[in-house]
Copies of this chain bind each other. A is one copy, B any other.
Amino acid sequence: MSDHHHDHHHDTAALTKNQSLVMGQLSSANGPLSAYTILDRLREHGFRAPLQVYRALDKLVEFGMVHRLESLNAFVACRQPGCDTHETIAFTICETCGQVAELSDPELADHLKALAAATGFVLKKSTVELRGLCRACGRA
């Protein structure tokens, strides 16, 4: 490997056209988007088929620029600087306004790992999605 930074730090310039378009939609959205919503919004840019979106999403997730929310079947742009340095991320998802926030907590990672290890389970990837009310909606 040469010394240019292709390892796990991807800036937008390195993205392909389709990846940039999908990333643009997610970045400018103020919440998670489904793959088909992204598709609809990119039809005017020439997108015609789901696969164009899913292929871009696969890469963006691989690059750590986008997260998939399992409980919503949707995708959200990463907004946590240095997100890729933390193994475990938790998401809060507001059931009223749809806002998603990322939480990172090394102790949580350790806790989950220990909890799993107690049963002999080797932890590879954690999905932690917390549903409830965000600060703004909770005050109502």
The answer to whether A121 and B101 touch (CB under 8 A), given A70-B70, A70-B71, is yes
A124 within 8 A of B: yes
Tell me how many chains of this kind the complex includes: 2
Tell which of B70, B71, B115, B121 touches A134, judged by Cβ atoms closer than 8 Å: B121
Please indicate the chain B residues that have their CB under 8 angstroms from the CB of A92 in the complex: 116, 119, 121, 123
Is A105 an interface position by the 8 A CB rule? Answer: yes
Q: How large is the interface on A (under 10, 10 to 19, 20 to 34, 35 or more residues)?
A: 20 to 34
**Pair A127/B135 contact, Cβ less than 8 Å:** no
Contact with B along A80-108 (1 / 0, CB 8 A): 00000000001010110000010101011
Which A residues have a C-beta under 8 Å from some C-beta of B? Answer: 70-71, 90, 92, 94-95, 101, 103, 105, 107-108, 111-112, 115-116, 119-135, 138
